Amino acid sequence: MKLLKLIPLLLVGLLNVMLSSQALANLAQDLSDGRHVLLMRHADAPGYGDPKGYQLDQCATQRNLGEAGKKQSLIIGKWLKSQGISNARVFSSPWCRCLDTAKLLNLGPVITAPELGSFFDDMSLEKEQTRNLEKLIKAQLGLQAKTPIIMVTHHVNIQAYTDKVVNVGDMVLVKVDQNGRYVSHQHFPSPKF
């Protein structure tokens, strides 16, 4: 009798595993369909915010990746390759922790995009920065290159665009409309490191 009660639970668990596997199997396919981008929060950078007086052109003045963040970035790159993404158009916020994360993914040259820059220090820029992100996405998807687009940015940018709170190294597969505006998303936690 107890076994009969467990069968529905086992079936639900199996269904969840199958759906999760299907979602992973479709990641590379979705990223080449011209309607999706992958937003990623930079890898682990110890601390909170940036030091007072930081400068974007001087990494030593910013909060940067620690050793764990560098390792995490490499592991995420390997995980993406295991999902069928061997190369991508990789864009990054101008902040060094994002640029370093993007480079360590080892998926292609990294393009610095101010549209992905943080507005953590001035939250009044949220709407403008989100509109700029939409324009960047629209322009890039408009090229119809079929190459996956990965954008490494900050938690405030991802939350403003998708309403999803993410941890360091987390990825959000975002479906967009023809104007680069958010439609829906699927969350991929950072692979364990």
Per-residue pLDDT reduced to its tens digit, 102-133: 999 999 999 999 999 999 999 999 999 999 99
Domain annotation covers residue 27: no
Question: Residues 28-55: what's their mean pLDDT?
Answer: 94
- DSSP letter at 149 equals E
Domain annotation covers residue 84: yes
Instruction: Identify the pLDDT of residue 110.
Output: 98
Tell me the residue range of the domain where 151 lies: 33-45+60-188
Instruction: Identify the pLDDT of residue 65.
Output: 98
Residue 158 has pLDDT above 60, yes or no: yes
Domain annotation covers residue 103: yes
Instruction: Identify the pLDDT of residue 7.
Output: 52
Cβ neighbours, 10 Å, residue 138: 15
Domain annotation covers residue 126: yes
Q: Are 141 and 90 in contact (CB under 8 A)?
A: no
Domain annotation covers residue 178: yes
Cβ neighbours, 10 Å, residue 22: 9
Where on the phi/psi map is residue 84: left (φ > 0), alpha (ψ -120 to 50), or beta? left
The model's pLDDT over 73-96, given as tens digits with 9 standing for 90+, comes to 999 999 999 999 999 999 999 999
Residue 21 has pLDDT above 90, yes or no: no
Instruction: Identify the pLDDT of residue 22.
Output: 42
Instruction: Identify the pLDDT of residue 41.
Output: 98
Residue 24 has pLDDT above 80, yes or no: no
Domain annotation covers residue 2: no
Residue 183 has pLDDT above 80, yes or no: yes
On the 0-12 / 13-18 / 19+ scale of CB atoms within 10 A, 122 is exposed
First-to-last alpha carbon distance for the chain, in angstroms, is 42
Domain annotation covers residue 50: no
Q: Can you give the CATH number for the domain in which 89 is found?
A: 3.40.50.1240
Residue 136 has pLDDT above 70, yes or no: yes
Instruction: Share the mean pLDDT of the chain.
Output: 89
Identify the residue with better confidence: 38 or 21.
38
SS3 of residue 33 by DSSP: coil
pLDDT-above-70 percentage for the chain:
87
Question: Residues 16-36: what's their mean pLDDT?
Answer: 69
Question: Residues 136-142: what's their mean pLDDT?
Answer: 96
Instruction: Identify the pLDDT of residue 5.
Output: 56
Q: How many domains does the chain have?
A: 1
How far is residue 136's CA from residue 104's CA, in Å, rounded to a whole number?
23
Q: Are 79 and 111 in contact (CB under 8 A)?
A: no
Domain annotation covers residue 22: no
Instruction: Identify the pLDDT of residue 192.
Output: 87
